[in-house]
Amino acid sequence: MSSIKEFQTFAAIVQERSFTKAAEKTFQSQSAVSKQLKKLETVVGVKLIERYEREVLTTEFGEVFYQHAIVIIESYNRALEAISELQDLQGGFLDIGASTLPGEYILPNLIGKFKKQFPKIDIRMQIAKTDEVIAMLKNRKIQVAFIGANVEDDDIEVSPYIDDELILIRSNCMAKVEDRSNLIIETALQNLIIREQGSGTRKVVEEFLVRSGYKIPANAMELGSNRAILSAVASGIGYSFLSKWVIQDAVKLGQVEQVTSVEGNIKRKIYTATLKNRYINPATIAFLEYIK
């Protein structure tokens, strides 16, 4: 008979693709992780994991077993969290995934205030590109996602959270161009700095440009964070579309300026995303109510 700890260890190995990282995630030694996997494989009677030098891969049996294991783990966690719910949120977990904008600029202050109100809740937030955050949600590594672009997926429930606006900016030291929207966009595209593929910000900018009859040029500079793009723009390298949340301090300090000729800029929303028909624990429910 296998224990829940063995199921959790196996799931950690599959998710992390590493015995070392699985050991860190489950707060055990690497040898303990190996022993638990061996015991589990003995019980089920098949090989679940294969190790190839630096790679850790699931066998065909392991893939099938993992899908059932995570359901068992979630049921076990649900039982524990039901007890926490009776204790008026004096415990439990809040696992959040966020794309860069909400993760770096919007949620930290809210999480800090929530933690003061519920100090015994264990809060963890992972920041990644929108598509990576959605993958975490579908793999049940997080309970709720905060993303900067809508997603169409039958398994996911998406709800608008707050309004945002992507604003075209440039350095104050850059030469000014004629005050016409199409001319400024064409100039910006010649020196465009943009987020990487998979970013919610990039997706929204691409959609805006297509509607306006343009597209992101092949030679556009790609940077992996809003902060890096803001620094690049401030140094005079080029133009970019960034959220009002990102640029507000830099505008006040005179490091960058908003290009007001682009009518309306880009209106968008920040969304919350959860898995449909999935149990959401009390801590997550409380947090979603709190941030309203």
Whether the Cβ atoms of residue 231 and residue 167 lie closer than 8 Å to each other: no
Whether residue 227 is predicted with pLDDT greater than 60 in this model: the reply is yes
Chain mean pLDDT for the chain: 89
Cα–Cα nearest to 250, from 263, 270, 237, 235 = 235
Whether residue 18 is predicted with pLDDT greater than 60 in this model: the reply is yes
Whether the Cβ atoms of residue 85 and residue 282 lie closer than 8 Å to each other: yes
**What DSSP designation does 193 have?**
E
DSSP string, 7-49: HHHHHHHHHHT-HHHHHHHTTS-HHHHHHHHHHHHHHHTS--E
Domains 93-161+270-290 and 163-268 are alike in CATH topology: yes
**Residues of the chain above pLDDT 70, percent:** 95
Using the structure block, give the residue that is written with the tokens 């960058």: 256
Name the residue ranges covered by the structural domains of the chain: 4-86, 93-161+270-290, 163-268
pLDDT tens-place string over residues 248-285? 999 999 999 988 655 556 888 999 999 998 888 889 99
**Higher-pLDDT residue of 211, 126:** 126
Whether residue 10 is predicted with pLDDT greater than 90 in this model: the reply is yes
**What mean pLDDT do residues 241-252 have?**
92
**What mean pLDDT do residues 156-162 have?**
94
- The helix, strand and coil proportions of the chain, stated in percent and rounded to the nearest 5, come to 45, 20, 30
Per residue in 36-57, is it b (16+ CB within 10 Å) or e — as a string?
Answer: bbeebbeeeeeebbeeeeeebe
Whether residue 182 is predicted with pLDDT greater than 80 in this model: the reply is no
Structure tokens at 138: 């579908």
CA separation (Å) from 43 to 6, 35, 40, 60, 74?
11, 12, 5, 17, 21
Q: Is pTM beyond 0.75 here?
A: no
For the chain, give the number of residues. 292
Please name the amino acid found at residue 60.
E
pLDDT tens-place string over residues 111-128? 999 999 999 899 999 999
Whether residue 242 is predicted with pLDDT greater than 90 in this model: the reply is yes
CATH 3.40.190.10 is right for the domain spanning 163-268: yes
Query: How sure is the predictor about 78, in pLDDT bands with cuts at 50, 70 and 90?
Result: confident
- The CATH code belonging to domain 4-86 is 1.10.10.10
| Superfamily of chain region 93-161+270-290 | Periplasmic binding protein-like II (3.40.190.10)
